[in-house]
Copies of this chain bind each other. A is one copy, B any other.
């Protein structure tokens, strides 16, 4: 069995964003990413210069840590990153399912994996123009196809009106998918405090800019963990 590059494993805490917001969750943050979003809030799981902080773990070791953290109670596990899709989490999902754990995965949709079909939730987060990345839609559609009948949804981070217009266009391509919009956090430096008032203002703007223009489809949700814990890691 090949090793997994793991930036951090933590929980139980609540999922802070997206359709599963508020759900008790264990997080497996995979190390490594094929994107370099300019506003990335998890550079410690992305940049290779942080790789000395990543652990090489076997699937069994990751599972043992999840069981230890949850006291053996089966619960939801979120595979995030970085981009977890550049590694093989299929064996972990199989092992966890055997013990009653459920698995969600958050990925930008740039790398399709056959284990997407085993997920209890696939969250695809295509990155908007403000990220500096450009979505390869053929690859994105391959991710959707790989997931088959697994529950899935879109989550799009919105920093500005350009992102919002883009999100609406993207959403139009996927009318069958549940959709969440999330205001961007421009101040994700873990060394800096967060201004909850400023985050609330961004959410207020996004609600007004979306619903106020008659776009009534998306759920609009903040990053709850940032509102509660700022940019602190491991919560």
Contact = CB atoms under 8 A, between A and B. Distances in A.
A77 to B, nearest CB: 12
Contacts of A214: 71, 73
A22 B180 contact: yes
B220 A22 contact: yes
Nearest to A208: B13
Interface in A188-225: 196-197, 200, 203-204, 207, 210-211, 214, 216-222, 224
Copies of this chain, count:
2
Given A196-B196, A196-B197, A228 B216 contact: no
The A interface, classified by DSSP as helix, strand, loop or mixed, is mixed
Given A196-B200, A227-B200, A21 B21 contact: yes
A73 B227 CA distance: 32
A14 B205 CA distance: 12
Contacts of A22: 21, 180, 219-221
Contacts of A13: 207, 211
A216 B24 contact: yes
A211 B21 contact: no
A52 to B, nearest CB: 31
B211 A24 contact: yes
Contacts of A224: 203, 221-222
A229 interface: yes
Given A70-B216, A218-B24, A219-B22, A228 B211 contact: no
Interface of A: 12-14, 21-24, 70-71, 73, 75, 180, 196-197, 200, 203-204, 207, 210-211, 214, 216-222, 224, 227-229
Question: Which 10 pairs of residues, A with B, have the shortest CB-CB distance?
Answer: A22-B219, A22-B221, A196-B196, A12-B211, A24-B216, A200-B228, A75-B216, A204-B228, A14-B220, A22-B220
